[in-house]
Structure 1
């Protein structure tokens, strides 16, 4: 006999069934760039859109959702992810956030150079974007940290854990397998993503776990003031904690010989000495 017990009432939404006839207009960024997406597709992945679809929102009748905080490039990347399950690393029709910042810096440098240099034989010496691009042409080139940071931030904002987990998996894969020149994120990439991460972000945790101990001291010192000050402070605090742990919670619990100076090949009179207070007389005998 079928149960007569009623299920708790749950507001219906496009998430409950597949329906390619219903779409949403998503206005992204301060300029409200318009995107169209199937409601059930985005609700199935994004907890943010699922919550909207189950509740009345301001412009439900017009089926419009505004996302002023999200960048158009990042949302275009998200739409690509929804329909393909991959992170796009090719042109999406919008300038990448870090490219925009780099182009502004390059324009300022070009303007400064134009005042001091001339073109050779009347031809412009500037190279095209294709000539200056560092992206290989072959298909072996996969993601870089920019793509993954864009994906993680938009996935985090829209509460799509499948995307954030995928992005983190790729970050770890890159760190484990790629060449040294792109093994760790650079200062510009960290400066872009750090302010967008919450205190409990797993990407934030990963950056603090691996970046400070993987970048060379020379490179870190050279770019020290390019990193966000909060990141530098957090990294320094974590390194202090790690060093204290490796020293068995501080010098008083470490092997005293680690903090002595000896001639090469000489035995340390205090090696393996039991923990405790050493008198001045004993120290003087050991130094003789």
Structure 2
């Protein structure tokens, strides 16, 4: 949205959006602005729904903090989420962005979803305050797989991340089993099989000891013990 068009949408009336419950938070937003970006609000406010008369939209099951991120983006075209924290704090940043993406899906605002995805990609590509790159683990994966459809680009992002950048400890040390949905593990396995390099022929070559129980030394193999050596016709 260009600057002039954005300013035009700041004219006119405002609506109230009541987000969450126990307690809820009420936000005021320009009708033209939010309806120009969100198909959900366009239908709710301008489509003859009850909300179009009351000029109040209620989002009881949503998080006021996440909605405030959406409003900030709506007005300023930036996301008020840091992307430079390492470790657990860094994963919390991914959680914020994943929640933003999921809210964008509900609000039918593809541009906001794209902005959230770009922020996640920027975070993976940039070094955190400790000089290292940190990637989404555990709870972020569970959230995305619980709240999105199979075709979600957020799922694709996670699968690509684990396929091309993943380390063993992401699964063994940085996540608990409950945070690794079966569908995610299947998606990663399929992606790894699709993109793997050609396997080393040694692994599946007849005569290889790779799958034997003995110690790595070839001398420990039963085939190298004369009395146990297999006899061939």
When normalised by structure 2's length, the TM-score is 0.69
For 1:53 and 1:60, how far apart are their aligned partners in 2?
A: 4
Distance 2:10 2:201 in 1: 71
Indicate if the aligned counterparts of 2:163 and 2:188 stay in contact, CA closer than 8 A: no
Cα distance in 2 for partners of 1:63, 1:46 equals: 16
Out of 118, 121, 126, which is 1:177 matched to?
126
- State the distance in 2 between where 1:51 and 1:19 align: 19
Taking a change above 3 Å as real, the CA distance of residues 214 and 18 of structure 1, as seen in their structure-2 partners, is closer
Matched, 1:55 2:47: yes
Structure 2 Cα separation of the partners of residues 19 and 241 of structure 1:
45
State the 1:78 CA deviation: 0.8
Mapping of residues 1-288 of structure 1, within 5 Å: 18=9, 20-31=11-22, 32-89=24-81, 144-178=93-127, 182-211=133-162, 214-222=165-173, 223-230=175-182, 233-240=183-190, 242-243=192-193, 246=196, 256-260=201-205, 261=208
Instruction: Summarize deviations over 1:228-251 as a string: whole Å, max 9, x none.
Output: 433xx4323431453266477xxx
Measured against aligned partners, the alpha-carbon deviations of 1:116-155 in whole angstroms (never above 9, x if no partner) come to xxxxxxxxxxxxxxxxxx959xxxx9x9323321321221
- 1:161 positional shift: 1.2
RMSD, aligned CA = 3.3
State the alpha-carbon separation in 2 of the partners of residues 52 and 83 from structure 1: 20
- Distance in 2, matches of 1:245 and 1:88, equals 36
Structure 1 distance, partners of 2:16, 2:101, is 23
Question: In the comparison of the two structures, how many residue pairs are matched?
Answer: 194
Q: CA–CA distance in 2 between the matches of 1:241 and 1:194? A: 16
Structure 2: gaps of 5 or more residues:
1-7, 210-231
Deviation at residue 36 of structure 1 after TM alignment: 1.0
* Alpha-carbon distance in 2 for matches of 1:47, 1:78: 14
Distance 1:228 1:256 in 2: 32
Task: Please give the alpha-carbon distance, in whole angstroms, between the structure 2 residues aligned to 1:89 and 1:241.
Answer: 30
Q: Is the 8 A contact 2:11 2:32 kept in 1?
A: yes
Q: Tell me the TM-score normalized by structure 1.
A: 0.57
* Deviation of 1:88 (Å): 1.1
Aligned residue for 1:121?
A: none
Which consecutive unaligned segments of at least 5 residues does structure 1 have?
A: 1-16, 91-133, 249-253, 263-283
3-state secondary structure, aligned to 1:60: helix
Q: 1:61 to 1:168 in 2, by over 3 A?
A: same
- Distance across 2 between alignment mates of 1:150 and 1:237: 21
Task: Note if contact 1:212-1:235 (Cα within 8 Å) is conserved in structure 2.
Answer: no
After TM superposition, the runs of 4+ consecutive aligned structure 1 residues lying more than 4 A away are: 179-182, 254-258
In 1, Cα distance between the equivalents of 2:51 and 2:32? 18
